[in-house]
Amino acid sequence: MLPSNLLVFERGWLSSNNILFLEGENATLIDSGYVSQAEQTVSLVAHALAGRRLVRLLNTHSHSDHIGGNAALGEAFGCRIIVPQGIDASIAEWNEEALLLSPLGQSA
């Protein structure tokens, strides 16, 4: 059984699950799902926040099913987006090859 301040949004096959940590009046989301599911992710998070503020989004790595909803969540909630050290330059430069997006025919 999970603690009540930890919510898991189970996603379909080949999509990352999202984990929302509720921290008092704030919350942190782990991974953001595919870009094609960004609207649904924003809706799920907004509902689960129940008036709390999403303050940060942490990405575990740069696969498209983990970073695809970053822009939509950042825009919707104004949260800080944190990526692992080592991929930050590839994201800042938007190097689709280094991020394994273009080689795999993915978008984010």
pLDDT value of position 5: 95
Q: Is 79 helix (H, G, I), strand (E, B) or coil?
A: coil
What is the C-alpha to C-alpha distance for residues 77 and 46, in angstroms, rounded to an integer? 9
What is the C-alpha to C-alpha distance for residues 59 and 100, in angstroms, rounded to an integer? 15
Q: How much of the chain, in percent, has pLDDT values that exceed 70? A: 82
Nearest to 33 by CA among 72, 79, 81: 72
pLDDT tens, residue by residue, 16-68: 789 999 999 999 999 998 888 899 999 999 999 999 999 999 998 877 788 88
pTM of the prediction? 0.83
Domains in the chain and their CATH numbers? 6-104 (3.60.15.10)
DSSP string of 29-63, one letter each residue: EE----GGGHHHHHHHHHHHHTT-EEEEEE-SS--
| Contacts of 40 by beta carbon, 8 Å cutoff, 6+ apart | 33
- The answer on pLDDT for 13 being more than 90 is no
